[in-house]
Each structure stands twice: as structure tokens, then as C-alpha cells.
Structure 1
């Protein structure tokens, strides 16, 4: 039975429909006029309304599939409600456009659902390219050096990795929460100090906030991304109700820990951290406007560190349980360098432990946490390989396709750390998985911090733990789920494994970290 609409609701829907029709009509003809001359890149045919329906679940797989990639090639052009979208399916095209022509391709599209409605307007990675973004980036680089050195944070990374190992000893089945806590606490302590970093509430808060980014993060998931004026729709629309629900933890993520540090500073009890250092800098320079930048940068680090490296570390437990040969190879190397019972690894061991690096690279390549990357936005008309790319096009780098290109990574679906050994990287094959960290001027500033965190966790966990498939009470092996979530932030789906100390000596090494 059809629902009886009130006169107000009927008038609202009629107004929205008229606006939608006008918006589509104007965009269709303005776009059509611009494209006289050179052809657009190839893409699927539009429907009667001039649109293409985008795949909603795991779109990176669809774009890399035979149906899309082999028909349309390395560039796939799509138009949805007048919005041009260009998918980049190969490393060559990404390099040519996002890196070599970064002056045109370094901005971000308007993300109405994410930014305006849910409240991620403080997320630096979503800012358009310009002076406001650059001011934030300068501050980020003060604490995350672009030269690859994150030595300052090594003691903290080791401390939290040891805490992870202790938690695994007491409740190994809860390993995913332990991993999330480890990653989050490193960044929380760096950014807001130990009081915030030790509080479990802020790890849980990040989980709630980041759930919205995972679900709504792929450009175009919600119609309002294509038709921004829909953000004024009444709250009884489902997407508006959803945005209001998500907005609370997202705003709390920005405001709450920052307010705690300011309060500590007022009382003279604040520890050294990014926020306290930057607030002191502002106080000395008498530039209060910089406070907003500090708050945005701190919350961005909180968000990025609390989630991105978590996927790769979680994948470690999955990969080691289904590939015991890789685990044995890593443990053999670790035992030769530091001894199976002598001590836990430190960063100065790294040069002697190349296979641990190979595992880290393969974890990043195997299932990247942002398989469709972060959307770029072209700010000027461009021509590439005889095709016209209009100004205002949203550009999606298919990171998953690049890191699973069989011409670059033979047998790409296999988990094979050895592919990164020098003998297997000849002739340009098996390049390091840098696409996992973005491209051009928008490359992730926390890349080296993430790599260091991943390395010390992999090295330490494999030194003291044996990871294997779970066995039920009848002695039957339970095969773990090997699927990954279909969202913009992709993680392993829930799976189980067995995590036990390698020996009594390994158990003692773990326990000794409590008193260090």
C-alpha cells in the first residue's frame, strides 16, 4: 500500500525533483559543449538519462575486471548526474597524471556527505589543494619528517608493540582489538600525550567515527555527492538521518582529546606531544588563528593512525595462519640474527632482517587498506593520449589494480613475500608497494611512521609467537575466512586463528617487557 504523504512532504519532494531536473539539465549541456573536439576516454555507455551505474561493492575489482578493464583499457571514463569520473587502472597512467602533472591533479573533489553532513571537514587528506591544505601539511611534516626518519617515535612504537604481545598472551582470540589498540595508542600518545593515549575510550571513539568513513568514503556512495544541494533535504531522508548519527563521534574525535590537552596545559600538567608543542608555538608567536590548524592536524593523525596500519597488521595474522612456510622463513631469519630466546628485536636489527621487510611490503600489496585510493580532482582541462580530460573530473586511482597487475606482480593474488627479494625485482618487476600510500603531492605524510610500526610489530610478534589455523575440539582444522571488507577502508573479514608462544623462553621474554 502506498504511503499517504503530507502536503509538506509532497511539496518538499516536488521541489527536490525540480531542482534535480534543472541541475542535471544544466550539467548535461554545459558538459556537452565543453567536449567538442577531442574524444573523451573510453567508458561504459550511459543510460537514457546520460548516467552510468557505478558498482557499489568492491568497485576496484569491477574496474579491474575483464568486463571493464579489458574493454575500456587503462582509462575508464564515467559520467554520473553530470559528474565526470576517470578511473586510472595502471601504474603508468597514475604516474603520468597524478605525479608528473601533479599541478593539475592534486586537489580533492567536494565530498558533501563526508565533509558537510557527517562532519569530516577537519580531515586534512580531504582538503582541496591550496594554501589552507599547505599550512596543515607544513605542520604535519614538522612531526612526520618527509625524509623517512621517524627515529623519534621508535621507543614509543617498541613500547606499544610489547604491550600488544602481552595482551596476546592473556587473550589471543581478541587479537583484532589488541592490534587496533596498539596502532591507536602510538598515534594518540604522539599527538595528545599519555593521558589520552592510555584511555580505551578514545580507541572506541575512533572505531565509531571511522565506520562512517569506511561506509561513505567511496566517492558517489550517496547521491548527495553528485548533487550537493541535496544536503538541504529534510532530516526524514535516510541519508540525512545516517549523517546525523555518524556526526556525533566524528566531531567528538576532533574536539574531546584536544580539549583535554588544553586543560592539562592550563593546569601545567601537560606532557610533551604534538598538540602541546604546537600550542606553545602559537602562544609565543601570538597567532591564535593557528589553533584550528593544530586541532585539524591532530585529529587527522588520530584518524589515520587509528585505522590504516591496522589492516596490514590484521592481515599478518591471516597470512601467517594460511602460509606457515612464510612464517617459518621469517622466524629462521629472526633466530639467526637475535636468537630464539635472547631478546626482542629492535630497529637497529632491520638491515639484517630483509625478509621481515618483504613480509611488510607484501602485506601492503596483498590487500591494500585503500584499494581505490583517495579521489583526486583535476583543476584544469587536460589532454592525455589523444583524449580530453575535462576540468572538474574526479580521478580515482585503482590502487588494487595497480598492486595486482600480473605484468608487474606475477601471480598477483598469491601471498609471496619473496617477490620483493633483489633477484625477483629485476627488470622492473615487483616494485615496492608505494601506491598504498597515495600519489604525487598528496602522498601520505605518515608513510614512514606506518612502515616502522608495521615492521616492529611483524618482527616482534613472529619472534615470540606461532600463528596457525584454529583447530576445533574434534581436531579438525578450521579454514579462516580470507575475504576482505568491501568498503573504502578495507580490512580482513572476521576470522579466527591460534596464537601461542613459540616456547617457554618466548613467554618469559613477553612477560619481561612489563618491567622494562
Structure 2
């Protein structure tokens, strides 16, 4: 008897469904995957062009020759004409985006701060030179936020804070005394003013006759300024070079600079710890925070944060205001008419030779404000700002901005845009008068202090220090061009250093009391307070 297998045909005569082979299945899966990727936002971004710039469309960088001397000037002039406000550069696989206008800086660094608030890893500075404690260079995240919170506890959060005014006034008076005794060393005196305020508020330390802490800061920051512009050293593009032989020039430099950077953060901190152990420590940021360590769940990390915040204040505060005040002496030397107008305003408000200016006089001394704003605009201490880092792929103006891009805000270009600041190279404080700040012209130079979540927390402290120093100097001194032994005028050079931290190049000027009454005001200052 023959047996037949039951029929597998479906009812109603329909053919069976076709089974996919493994190859067919993989092919279909690949097609679907590619379609999803193609229409996904990330893939669409990848199809967008990169911003214009030299070799921006190549994977291999070719021969991009980055400007080495005052690069902010090149980016703001020749390269801006070629590429515009967004300049994309890729060097050895490292993408860099230069922002040449206030609009693009605001659009990206402020309005999209969630993507642009981090910092790139700077192998030369952080790992080799030992600046791993500098909070301003930390990547954005919880660890940085703990440091920021401590900064905000001690730094004024608006321009009406008076917490540090007595200290700033005292140090401004000390500057007047130093200028009276030795006016030719005015650069050293303003450097001492800046450092003294920060050292007292942070460590409770007085700058001694040897000024050892000022010297230490100068030496350490000199290395930072030289290496600070991104890409100065090849190791920033190729981090594996940090393992290169120690006898190479960049490794030798880093080793010498590292000793100074570590001393800058460790020496004054250890001094406070020693004074606390002896029961003689002054009230200051470090002593107050160390006293609260017993309540911390992680004392080791908490102590590290205290040390980092203190060191960052020491590094930042000791340099920025001295640059602005050096520019003040230069600007007043070549613009006696500005000095005369500032002095006339002071004399009208407080009288000539009757007393020294106070912060309470500020509402009536508007032109002194204008001078200080113009000092910040005329020569920003950090012309290329502090670099930001893109943590997420982004799209802007139809261009793709890749994740991992280092962003350089060209502060100099922003504050010298002729459309915003007419005649931008001129030192003109009156541009900030209300009648000259209409239709978007001459906004306050906030860009000098950074952008978004990485805005400088010490901006109000810095401005107040500059203000009281400028007002005090104009109240009692005349600044003029020097003369040689034959009576010929020595014209100062209006030039600024080409490094990350920019200062006026050395120049001379003559500083004399305005009158016998003004000289007496200085002589009556009680420096025992």
C-alpha cells in the first residue's frame, strides 16, 4: 500500500511564502540600515559642508600654515576676507574653528552652551607643564562645577558687591605710594597691586619686600603665555609625543616650566596650612575652606578643589588687571586730553587735592568707567580667549561642526569690529557714553571676559580693581611722555606682545604729582592698616 505525505499547499490554492536565504536577509538588512542612517539627523549633518577655511574639505590637512605671530590679527583681517566669520582649519587631524564676530560667538558659545562649554585637552600645558590644577582649563562637568561653586562663594556676582572694596582701595593707595617713591618702575608696581589683592583674599598673604610670590607668578605665567596658543607645540595635535625622549627641546622646556607651575599652586597653599597649624593664619578663602574639611564626605578631593581654586585665582587675577593697567599708562601717555578730562571730572566730584577717590564716588565718575571699558576693549589680555570644545555634532548656518572641534573665539576681532566699534584702533573712552551706544554701536566689552557658562567668574573683581587704580592715579598724578638727556621727546611704541596673554611692550613715561596738595595726599596715606 502506497502512503502519500500530506499536502502542504495552503487552502484556496495560494502558493507558499518564499523563505529568504541568509544572503538575501543580510542584503535586505543592509539596505534598511543604510536608509535609516541616510535619513537620520547625524547622517544628514555629515552630508553638510564644513565651514570655509584652508583645506577644510580634505581628510588630509595638506600644507595649512597657521599664523604664528599674533594669529588673531591674521584671522581678523586676511583670513576673514577669504573665509568670513567662521574659519575651519584641520591640522594633523585636529579640527579648529575660529569665531570672528560677536554674533557667531553668541550663537554658539552662549545660546548653545550645552554643546560648547567644555575645554579641549591641552597635552603640553596640562600634562607636561603641570597646569592640571587650572580650573579654567577643566572639561565641563560635575568636577568643574564644584570648583565654579567655590569661586562664586568668594567672588562678587554683580557690580554692586562691596565685599572686597576695602582691600582694593588699600592696595590702590599702596600703588600710589610706590609710584611716589619710584615712578620709573610703574610696571612692577601695578603687577604688585594685582598680585597683592589676590594673595590676600585667597591666601591671606602680604607681598613682602622681596615680592617672592609676584616673581613666582611672573615666571610661571611666562611659560603658560608662550605655550598657551593652541597648536604652538606639535604634541597638542599628536598627544603620543608626550612619550618622546626627554632630551627633546619641548620636553626640556616643559620640565622647567612644570617646576614653576607646581610651585605656584603648592607653595602659597602650604604656607596657609603651616600658619593654620601654628594658629596664626589670617581669614581668607583657603583657611575658611580648610576649616570646613571635617564636614566633607571626601576630604582628599575637597582639599584638592580648594587648592585648585586658590591657584587659579592666583594665576588669573595676578595677570589680567596688570595688563589693563599697563595699557592705561600707555594710553594716557599718548592721549593727554583723556587724562585732562578724567582729572577734571574727579576734581569736580571730590575736589583737587582734598581726598582720594572712593568706590562710593563711582556713580558720579562716569568718564572713569568709560576709560576702564576702553582699556578692556583696546587690547584684550587674551586676544584669542580661552578655547572651547564641541561635545556634540552641530549644524550652524548650513555648515557641519564636528564633535571634537576646538573653538577659538577671536576676542580681538570681536572688540575691533569697525561695524560695532567705529575707528576701532583708536583709544576713545567716549565711545561708551550713552549717546554713542545706540543702534548696536559700542556695547560694553563683555567679550573680554569670555562667553556662556565659561564666563570669567572674577570679572567684577577685576573691573573694580582697574577702576579704583585708574581713579586714584588720575587724582594725584600727571602722566606724560619722557624726554632724553637732550630734551627730545621719547615717543612710546603702541605695540603689544604676541603671546596668549598680551601686554604692552616695554615703554617709558614720566609720572609726577599734579600739585603739592596731591603729593601731600600720597604722603598722608597710612600703610599700617
Calculate the TM-score normalised by the size of structure 1: 0.92
Q: Secondary structure at the match of 1:462?
A: helix
Matched, 1:379 2:388: no
In structure 2, what is the Cα distance between the partners aligned to 1:246 and 1:158?
34
Q: Which runs of 5+ in 2 are unaligned?
A: 1-42
The correspondence for 2:183, drawn from 129, 148, 172, is 172
Question: How much has 1:150 moved relative to structure 2?
Answer: 3.8
Instruction: Report Cα offsets for 1:76-107 as digits up to 9, x if no partner.
Output: 00000000000000000000000000000000
Whose Rg is larger? 2
Residue 5 of structure 1 corresponds to which residue in structure 2?
none
Question: How much has 1:303 moved relative to structure 2?
Answer: 0.4
CA distance 1:199–1:441, shift in 2 (3 Å): farther
Instruction: Report Cα offsets for 1:318-348 as digits up to 9, x if no partner.
Output: 0000000100000000000011110000000
Q: Secondary structure at the match of 1:138?
A: helix
Contact 1:188 1:197 in 2 (8 A): no
Residue 215 of structure 1 corresponds to which residue in structure 2?
226
Question: How much has 1:405 moved relative to structure 2?
Answer: 0.2
Q: Which has the higher helix share?
A: 1
Matched, 1:259 2:250: no
Q: Secondary structure at the match of 1:470?
A: coil
In structure 2, what is the Cα distance between the partners aligned to 1:341 and 1:298?
38
Q: Secondary structure at the match of 1:513?
A: coil
Instruction: Report Cα offsets for 1:4-61 as digits up to 9, x if no partner.
Output: xxxxxxxxxxxxxxxxxxxxxxxxxxxxx99741000000237975352211110000
Matched, 1:147 2:148: no
Contact 1:330 1:462 in 2 (8 A): yes
Residue 393 of structure 1 corresponds to which residue in structure 2?
405
Residue 65 of structure 2 corresponds to which residue in structure 1?
53
Matched, 1:115 2:92: no
Q: Secondary structure at the match of 2:187?
A: helix
Residue 468 of structure 2 corresponds to which residue in structure 1?
456
Question: How much has 1:145 moved relative to structure 2?
Answer: 3.1
Instruction: Report Cα offsets for 1:210-234 as digits up to 9, x if no partner.
Output: 0011100111110000111101111
Q: Secondary structure at the match of 1:427?
A: coil
In structure 1, what is the Cα distance between the partners aligned to 2:260 and 2:404?
31
CA distance 1:153–1:221, shift in 2 (3 Å): same
Instruction: Report Cα offsets for 1:380-423 as digits up to 9, x if no partner.
Output: 00000000000000000000000000000000000000000000
1:391-430 equivalences under 5 Å are 391-430=403-442
Residue 355 of structure 1 corresponds to which residue in structure 2?
367
Contact 1:186 1:197 in 2 (8 A): no
Contact 1:118 1:246 in 2 (8 A): yes
CA distance 1:335–1:211, shift in 2 (3 Å): same
Contact 1:106 1:441 in 2 (8 A): yes
Calculate the TM-score normalised by the size of structure 2: 0.89
In structure 1, what is the Cα distance between the partners aligned to 2:526 and 2:254?
42
Contact 1:192 1:257 in 2 (8 A): yes
CA distance 1:426–1:35, shift in 2 (3 Å): closer
RMSD: 1.5
Count residues with an aligned counterpart: 483
In structure 2, what is the Cα distance between the partners aligned to 1:95 and 1:126?
20
In structure 1, what is the Cα distance between the partners aligned to 2:352 and 2:70?
41
CA distance 1:395–1:286, shift in 2 (3 Å): closer
Question: How much has 1:272 moved relative to structure 2?
Answer: 0.2
Which sits farther off after the overlay, 147-156 or 452-461?
Answer: 147-156
The correspondence for 2:312, drawn from 284, 293, 300, is 300
Residue 78 of structure 1 corresponds to which residue in structure 2?
89
Residue 170 of structure 2 corresponds to which residue in structure 1?
159
Instruction: Report Cα offsets for 1:455-512 as digits up to 9, x if no partner.
Output: 0000000000000011112111110011000000000000000000001111110111
Residue 20 of structure 1 corresponds to which residue in structure 2?
none
Contact 1:115 1:121 in 2 (8 A): yes
CA distance 1:133–1:197, shift in 2 (3 Å): farther
Residue 30 of structure 1 corresponds to which residue in structure 2?
none
In structure 1, what is the Cα distance between the partners aligned to 2:106 and 2:310?
30
In structure 1, what is the Cα distance between the partners aligned to 2:207 and 2:179?
22
In structure 1, what is the Cα distance between the partners aligned to 2:83 and 2:54?
8
1:20-31 equivalences under 5 Å are none
The correspondence for 1:309, drawn from 303, 308, 321, is 321
Matched, 1:337 2:345: no
Residue 469 of structure 1 corresponds to which residue in structure 2?
481
1:173-192 equivalences under 5 Å are 173-192=184-203
The correspondence for 2:510, drawn from 485, 498, 504, is 498
Contact 1:53 1:80 in 2 (8 A): no
Matched, 1:104 2:127: no
Contact 1:51 1:79 in 2 (8 A): no
Residue 102 of structure 2 corresponds to which residue in structure 1?
91
In structure 2, what is the Cα distance between the partners aligned to 1:149 and 1:465?
28
Q: Which runs of 5+ in 1 are unaligned?
A: 1-32
Which sits farther off after the overlay, 328-337 or 43-52?
Answer: 43-52
Question: How much has 1:298 moved relative to structure 2?
Answer: 0.3
1:192-231 equivalences under 5 Å are 192-195=203-206, 200-231=211-242
Residue 324 of structure 1 corresponds to which residue in structure 2?
336
CA distance 1:303–1:330, shift in 2 (3 Å): same
In structure 2, what is the Cα distance between the partners aligned to 1:51 and 1:251?
37
Q: Secondary structure at the match of 2:292?
A: helix
Question: How much has 1:379 moved relative to structure 2?
Answer: 0.2
In structure 2, what is the Cα distance between the partners aligned to 1:325 and 1:196?
35
Which sits farther off after the overlay, 198-207 or 164-173?
Answer: 198-207
Q: Secondary structure at the match of 2:54?
A: coil
